[in-house]
């Protein structure tokens, strides 16, 4: 099947390669000639001119965007005048699903189709396959099935769930039509919100293990420090990297994220190549906001999100106010950093 | 290698079978004759008399306990008079690691060895293998290596971590000597704390997806209800079971717990065979308490733990106080249940 | 000063009485004749016809709305055709500040002024005075000063902050011009978010005291229940109502909310006149969403908000999933309600 | 009434002065002569020799300790040989209530009485009075009533709770016999846990207001930063100090802690005299641990506690792991500090 890809970064480029390997015909467009050439070398056709790109696509056209969320609207704005009724735009980036609902409406008025696809898989997707969460009209999504099927990992990537038999359904291959427009990115949004929670659970737990030796450290003894009542319970020097490794097999907490944690800790057990300023790229925020609007609790996911904010210094003013209050009511003076 | 097993429930029984399959010699003891007979039928030797059990074990004896945490001390109390210096007791249950430190000291004074082992794997371990987190003296743990090796899943249970090569170390097989006594159950405790966090992350996220249709429900319109500003953003009826399934392949949130969620949701998409009163069996509590004593934050794990408490009605008094306060300052009257 | 009030409920009606007492001229409008008559009896002029109401106001008119957030826009829609350039609309309800920004722009285009005022004080404000947080144009807000001054509690309502001297500034009287449009409701929104956090802190703490006797209750002893290691630490039957009372004088946690808690607990120590289904009326949600958009952590306020959601059953699906997962990996069966 | 005070720091010294003013006879002991002399100048009798101190007290003796929690046991150890059956030791510090239970038992065996008293009031208590939460035997506590009555603020310190009439009971004066030994410090412990939650609620809320201008700051635009969708909603420069001031009168969030916040912010609106490393002195930790042992949720209090831990760098390892994971799955590189 023919597909035109716009955006040839880490994700888009690898997806094209995976599609070519599966026998699909890929046209690629990027304003950077080098990015285009790299994929032409792998078997794609390519261009740095958008008009060319559109002209070369067979009608009804299928254009897949793999660009940062912030530029999806401008790219669609450039594309629309070149497209014709019946063409389809797929947004495979990390758009906010509110934008999908709006865009689908705007494009529908012009006779164009819009499909929102949340894609998970990161830099590993080329070999491992990508997981797709899809929102859009039934028939349009159905037409794209060969693409999804080739990008997805396939049923053999995991044991079948007990009770599943016969011809695997798409969800078992690694893609799911979740509902009308926005549903794909809605599910991807929550996927990432869960990811924040999972990551934070591992990080908290491994931090507790990392600090299992507090009873061996010299204890400060002053009115501003809580004494450790039983230092003898905290005298363990535990190899965190090996703990991550051992949990990968047979334990209840085995996961792909744990595999990655084991990998990171093997490279650098103290993780001192990182400063601990953790970015967030939107989906965690939107997940919390969706929970709030739905009126359902999300204490774990929000705690994970807030920890990222705090890691970047966003609680400094609040923390200073706490110290100020302690000084006001009790005359407590902040301890200098070295003594904490 | 010879091993005597006390406690033939879900865990202990299956571990014996796995050991027998691997060629070890297993003596089993349980006060329930049926439990013993079932394992004798599988190739174990067995008895319902503790004296017999101890007498039949070759010295230095290896006695492995797989009993509820609450009865470990009584069982050790019965065993100790029958054992001799050099014998080893392994506690493979879910003991609090404080008890391990105490017990190891008491047994050491009698010339006995004690090994604490956190075992993960649940009802699946027989086929999948068990993950072991071990605390104890170096030499004693080394002597038990053949047992751990047979119970563990083995390196082939997961792809090797990038950078690992050569003869796999024990952590890659699925067992780890974490440190001196208590270290095994300490790591297992945190393992379960993480498990609480992971489970809660999935539960919160899938609940948000389950409620993605709030905009389609009839909205109550009164001063006690926050109106949904954009019902058009919450009109999705998403198949939660299929979402769990699709994430199993290629996505960042794939895990063994997700596999189980997919399995549970396939059996019962509405989960109406459960009431949602979630038990906790101690390790989550201890993990939070360890974090507090170490002075390290655990907001995700504690949120997960507290959600379980709340699911059992433990916040009722607090909630009633909130309603009472709202009535006091604003004259707000609680809404009847049906209208929420 | 003359003021026209629309909305004569708990808040609006009392505010009118307080203004009349202070010598202001109040016109009131409500579609319910009884509400109007009640205030006429207190010295207001009144009408049930909106045209009348507007006609009787001296130009430039001052119209203050004290209506539910959901009807502010419709009321403004009815008012606008009757008003003239230079007139001012004050929204003293609990509007979302986004709406203030929008409305101010729409009204500005018609030559009308808009002031958003967050009013705190609840049913107690008539005697205690109201706290006002104000957003709008400098000059317009300045013109309303006599109104705010009369509604506010006045400086004598609390000891002056150390360092304050001379003529008290408005913030010391109980009203503050916080910034341009929206700033008033923004600050009120956060005020309510804080209120959620404060209420939850008291509720949690008093719940811990209420349950200080768990060690005296009969303990269930099974694998699904964490045993209480030291029941002797939890044998207190503490009088929660008296605890709330004693903290009111001399302690660090004294507050007006605590006064109300003491009042509620005096009436009903077990609070059994409440079911514990706690409503939320929007500001807590918006506060969390503002925190998320600003990228600053709000773990306490969000935990308080989520506890309210949970009190209304919003975590049921999530809880059932947790039970389902526990069954899947460990064969754990939910305990019946009676045994928890 | 006669009382011997050991420990003449911020709390103990002021309590003695307040007792002397009320006509009580105070003997003071401290190893620092200057501390003793200062109180002798105020009308106390004093000594730097413990034997002297005990000898001068009329039997049955009343010895009140106001020393750091860590030295209570050593001081009691020195005292006990000097005391006689029927004497009473009061611990007015911040002891863990578990220690009270133990100490009371040990002292009871020697015929000595023990009373645990949680005292709130901080550096303000001399003028404002102290709030006392008391644990101990009925008769012993009753005997100390004149002391508690003089230290307490008295009923006039706050309006009486609606429904209270007649002779005020002790709780209305500011002291409460909460139960048997340990109950006093148990209630004080929870009091402080609530205090953590209240402080954090204000700190979070004021931080949200402090950051209400994020839409006016220059926005970084890269894949690692979530764009602010509506910068026009976050263009407020709000005077946080005045906000704290305005809430003090008439609002629902008025409290003594808010008074202190207004005071601190008046001195330093940017709080730049503090670094934001917030100490915790034990009671918050114990409150969370009590909640966990009771099996009741405390998400707000624990979030407040964890924020303090994090303010001191305790989540660094966890944060670095999150960055490491993001690099592993998505190739995300941490942003340098300046760009956040």
Q: DSSP for C111-163, please give it.
A: T-EEEEEEEE-GGGHHHH--EEEEES-HHHHHHTHHHHHHHS--GGGSPPPTT
Rounded to whole angstroms, the Cα distance separating B134 from B184 reads 4
Rounded to whole angstroms, the Cα distance separating D303 from C288 reads 15
Contact B210 C317 (CB under 8 A): yes
Express each pLDDT in C23-48 by its tens digit.
999 999 999 999 999 999 999 999 99
Contacting residues of D for C157, CB less than 8 Å apart: 248-250
Rounded to whole angstroms, the Cα distance separating D1 from D26 reads 8
Contact D176 C267 (CB under 8 A): no
What residue in A sits closest to B215 (Cα-Cα)? A294
Q: Which of A221, A303, A326 to mutate to test the interface with D (most CBs of D within 10 A)?
A: A326
Count of Cβ atoms closer than 10 Å to residue B49 Cβ: 10
Contacting residues of A for D325, CB less than 8 Å apart: 199, 202-203, 257, 260-261, 264
Structure tokens at B208: 């948000």
Q: What is the 3-state secondary structure (H, E, C) of chain B?
A: CEEEEECCCHHHHHHHHHHHHCCCEEEEECCCHHHHHHHHCCCCEEECCHHHHHHHCCCCCEEEECCCHHHHHHHHHHHHHHCCCCCEEEECCCCCHHHHHHHHHHHHCCCCEEEEEEEECHHHHHHHCCEEEEECCHHHHHHCHHHHHHHCCCHHHCCCCCCCCCCCCHHHHCEEEEECCCHHHHHHHHHHHHHHHHHHHHHHHHHHHHCCCHHHCCCCCCCCECCCCCHHHCCCCCCHHHHHHHCCCCCCCCEHHHHHHHHHHHHCCCCCCCCCCCCECCHHHHHHHHHHHHCCCCHHHHHHHHHHHHHCCCCHHHHHHHHHHHHHHHCCCCCCHHHC
Chain B closest-CA separation from residue C209 CA (Å): 11
Catalytic one of A37, A195, A245, A334: A195
- Considering only CB atoms, C314 lies closest to which of A289, A297, A305, namely A297
- Considering only CB atoms, A204 lies closest to which of B174, B226, B301, namely B301
Q: Which of A118, A172, A196, A252 to mutate to test the interface with B (most CBs of B within 10 A)?
A: A252
Contact C277 B335 (CB under 8 A): yes
Q: Write down the residue that tokens 């859009």 correspond to.
A: A136
- Say what the pLDDT of residue D340 is: 43
Q: How confident is the model at residue A30 (pLDDT cuts 50, 70, 90)?
A: very high
**In the predicted structure, residue C96 carries a pLDDT above the cut 60:** yes
**In the predicted structure, residue C118 carries a pLDDT above the cut 50:** yes
- Say what the pLDDT of residue A332 is: 85
Closest CA to B168 of B159, B177, B181, B179: B159
**In the predicted structure, residue C128 carries a pLDDT above the cut 90:** yes
> Under 8 Å CB-to-CB from C197, ≥6 apart: which residues?
C300, C301, C304, D197, D198, D200, D201, D204, D205, D300
Contacting residues of B for D280, CB less than 8 Å apart: 295
- Say what the pLDDT of residue C286 is: 98
Domains of chain C with bracketed CATH: 2-158+169-180 (3.40.50.720), 189-218+227-316 (1.10.1040.10)
- Hey, is A90 helix, strand or coil? strand
Higher per-residue pLDDT: C81 or B217 = C81
- Say what the pLDDT of residue D288 is: 98
Contact D246 C133 (CB under 8 A): yes
**In the predicted structure, residue C226 carries a pLDDT above the cut 90:** no
- Say what the pLDDT of residue D224 is: 73
Count of pairs with CB atoms under 8 A, one residue in A, one in D? 239
Contacting residues of B for D293, CB less than 8 Å apart: 285
Chain A closest-CA separation from residue D139 CA (Å): 32
Dmax of chain A from CA atoms?
77
- Say what the pLDDT of residue C340 is: 43
Give the whole-number percent of chain A exceeding pLDDT 90: 90
- Say what the pLDDT of residue B223 is: 66
Express each pLDDT in C234-243 by its tens digit.
999 999 999 9
- Mean pLDDT, residues C79-96: 97
**In the predicted structure, residue C332 carries a pLDDT above the cut 90:** no
Catalytic one of A188, A267, A328, A339: A188
- Considering only CB atoms, A303 lies closest to which of C296, C299, C312, namely C299
Rounded to whole angstroms, the Cα distance separating C252 from D188 reads 11
Contact D306 B299 (CB under 8 A): yes
**In the predicted structure, residue C199 carries a pLDDT above the cut 50:** yes
- Say what the pLDDT of residue C23 is: 97
- Say what the pLDDT of residue B281 is: 84
Contact A225 D263 (CB under 8 A): no
Rounded to whole angstroms, the Cα distance separating C92 from C186 reads 13
Say how far residue A294 (Cα) sits from the centre of its chain. Answer: 22
Angle between helices C283-294 and A283-294 (to 10 degrees): 180
Q: Write down the residue that tokens 């201890």 correspond to.
A: B286
Instruction: Tell me if B253 sits within 8 A of A195, measured CB to CB.
Output: yes
> Is the sign of the CA dihedral D55, D56, D62, D66 positive or negative?
negative
- Say what the pLDDT of residue C301 is: 98
Q: How confident is the model at residue B339 (pLDDT cuts 50, 70, 90)?
A: very low
Q: Which of C197, C285, C288, C292 to mutate to test the interface with A (most CBs of A within 10 A)?
A: C292
- Considering only CB atoms, B310 lies closest to which of D285, D297, D318, namely D297
- Mean pLDDT, residues A94-112: 97
Rounded to whole angstroms, the Cα distance separating D90 from D135 reads 10
What residue in C sits closest to A287 (Cα-Cα)? C292
> Is the sign of the CA dihedral C52, C57, C59, C63 positive or negative?
negative
> Is the sign of the CA dihedral D70, D75, D76, D78 positive or negative?
positive
- Considering only CB atoms, D310 lies closest to which of B252, B297, B309, namely B297
> Is D195 labeled as catalytic in the residue annotation?
yes
**In the predicted structure, residue C67 carries a pLDDT above the cut 80:** yes
Q: Which of A278, A306, A308, A330 to mutate to test the interface with C (most CBs of C within 10 A)?
A: A306
For D137, which DSSP code? -
**In the predicted structure, residue A336 carries a pLDDT above the cut 80:** no
What residue in A sits closest to C326 (Cα-Cα)? A252
- Say what the pLDDT of residue A340 is: 43
What is chain A's mean pLDDT, rounded? Answer: 95
- Say what the pLDDT of residue B312 is: 96
Contact A187 B251 (CB under 8 A): no
Contacting residues of B for C274, CB less than 8 Å apart: 319-320, 323-324, 327, 334
**In the predicted structure, residue A316 carries a pLDDT above the cut 80:** yes
- φ, ψ for residue C218 (rounded to 5)? -70, 135
Q: How confident is the model at residue A221 (pLDDT cuts 50, 70, 90)?
A: low
Rounded to whole angstroms, the Cα distance separating C208 from A192 reads 35
Contacting residues of B for D295, CB less than 8 Å apart: 280, 309, 312, 314
- Say what the pLDDT of residue C221 is: 67
> Is A195 labeled as catalytic in the residue annotation?
yes
Contacting residues of D for C264, CB less than 8 Å apart: none
Contact B279 C332 (CB under 8 A): yes
Chain C closest-CA separation from residue B219 CA (Å): 13
**In the predicted structure, residue B331 carries a pLDDT above the cut 90:** no
- Say what the pLDDT of residue D35 is: 95
Contact D223 A68 (CB under 8 A): yes
Neighbour subunits, C (≥3 Cβ pairs < 8 A): A, B, D
Contacting residues of C for D176, CB less than 8 Å apart: 239, 242-243, 245-246
Q: Which of C309, C312, C316, C318 to mutate to test the interface with A (most CBs of A within 10 A)?
A: C309
**In the predicted structure, residue A222 carries a pLDDT above the cut 80:** no
Identify each DSSP E strand in A174-259 by its residue range. 175-179
Q: CA angle, corner C212, sides to C258 and A232, nearest 5?
A: 115
Express each pLDDT in A138-179 by its tens digit.
999 999 999 999 999 999 999 999 999 999 999 999 999 999
What residue in A sits closest to B156 (Cα-Cα)? A249
- Say what the pLDDT of residue D223 is: 66
CA atoms within 13 A on the CB side of C150: 19
In the sheet with B2-6, reading across from the earlier edge strand, the strands are B45-47, B25-29, B2-6, B62-65, B88-91, B113-120, B131-135, B175-179
Contact D199 A325 (CB under 8 A): yes
The two counts, helices (H) then strands (E), for chain A are 15, 8
- Mean pLDDT, residues A6-11: 93
Give the whole-number percent of chain C exceeding pLDDT 90: 91
Chain A closest-CA separation from residue D56 CA (Å): 30
Contact A208 B157 (CB under 8 A): no
Give the residues across from C176 on adjacent strands.
C133
The two counts, helices (H) then strands (E), for chain D are 15, 8
Contact A340 D312 (CB under 8 A): yes
Closest CA to A317 of D240, D150, B212: D240
Q: CA angle, corner B145, sides to B139 and B150, nearest 5?
A: 165
Q: CA angle, corner A41, sides to A38 and A46, nearest 5?
A: 70
Q: CA angle, corner A249, sides to A243 and A251, nearest 5?
A: 75
Contact C297 D204 (CB under 8 A): yes
- Considering only CB atoms, C296 lies closest to which of A296, A302, A309, namely A309
- Say what the pLDDT of residue C223 is: 66
**In the predicted structure, residue A238 carries a pLDDT above the cut 80:** yes
**In the predicted structure, residue A223 carries a pLDDT above the cut 80:** no
Question: What pTM was computed for the model?
Answer: 0.96
- Say what the pLDDT of residue D225 is: 76
Q: How confident is the model at residue B340 (pLDDT cuts 50, 70, 90)?
A: very low
Rounded to whole angstroms, the Cα distance separating C94 from C100 reads 11
Q: Write down the residue that tokens 């733990």 correspond to.
A: B305
Chain D closest-CA separation from residue A64 CA (Å): 19
Say how far residue C7 (Cα) sits from the centre of its chain. Answer: 17
Q: How confident is the model at residue B112 (pLDDT cuts 50, 70, 90)?
A: very high
What residue in B sits closest to A178 (Cα-Cα)? B238
- Residues of B that are catalytic: 188, 195
Positions in chain D short of pLDDT 70: 221, 223, 336-340
- Say what the pLDDT of residue A337 is: 59
Give the residues across from A64 on adjacent strands.
A5, A90
Contact C309 A315 (CB under 8 A): no
What residue in B sits closest to D284 (Cα-Cα)? B292
> Under 8 Å CB-to-CB from C284, ≥6 apart: which residues?
C192, C193, C196, C301, C304, C305, C308
Burial grade of A102 (CB within 10 A; 0-12, 13-18, 19 or more): middle
Chain C closest-CA separation from residue B115 CA (Å): 22
Chain D closest-CA separation from residue C176 CA (Å): 6
Structure tokens at D111: 């015929």
Contact D295 B310 (CB under 8 A): no
- Mean pLDDT, residues A110-127: 94
């Amino acid at each position: 099947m023919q597909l035109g890809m716009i955006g040839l970064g880490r994700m888009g480029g690898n997806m094209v390669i995976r599609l070519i390997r599966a026998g699909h015909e890929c046209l690629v467009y990027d304003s950077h000639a080098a990015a285009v050439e790299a994929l032409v070398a792998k078997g794609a056709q390519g261009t740095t001119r958008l008009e060319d790109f559109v002209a070369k696509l067979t009608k009804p056209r299928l254009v897949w965007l793999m660009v940062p969320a912030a530029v999806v609207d401008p790219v669609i704005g450039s594309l629309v005048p070149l497209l014709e009724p019946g063409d389809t735009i797929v947004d495979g980036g990390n758009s906010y699903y509110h934008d999908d609902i709006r865009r689908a409406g705007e494009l529908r008025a012009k006779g164009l189709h819009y499909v929102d696809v949340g894609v998970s898989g990161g830099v590993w997707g080329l070999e491992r396959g990508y997981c797709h969460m899809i929102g859009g009209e039934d028939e349009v999504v159905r037409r794209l099935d060969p693409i999804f099927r080739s990008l997805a990992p396939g049923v053999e990537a995991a044991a079948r769930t007990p009770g599943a038999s016969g011809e695997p359904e798409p969800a078992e291959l690694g893609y799911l039509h979740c509902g009308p427009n926005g549903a794909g990115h809605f599910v991807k949004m929550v996927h990432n919100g869960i990811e924040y929670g999972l990551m934070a659970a591992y990080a908290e737990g491994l931090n507790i293990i990392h600090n299992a030796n507090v009873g061996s450290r010299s204890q400060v003894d002053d009115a501003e420090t809580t004494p450790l009542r039983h230092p003898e319970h905290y005298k363990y020097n535990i190899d965190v990297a090996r703990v991550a490794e051992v949990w990968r097999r047979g334990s209840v907490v085995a996961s792909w994220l744990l595999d990655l944690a084991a990998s990171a800790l093997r490279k650098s057990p103290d993780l001192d190549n990182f400063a601990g300023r953790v970015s967030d790229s939107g989906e965690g925020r939107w997940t919390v906001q969706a929970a709030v609007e739905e009126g359902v609790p999300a204490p774990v996911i929000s705690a994970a999100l807030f920890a990222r904010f705090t890691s970047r210094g966003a609680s400094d003013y609040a923390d200073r106010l706490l110290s100020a209050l302690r000084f006001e009511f009790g005359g407590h003076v902040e301890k200098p950093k070295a003594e904490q």
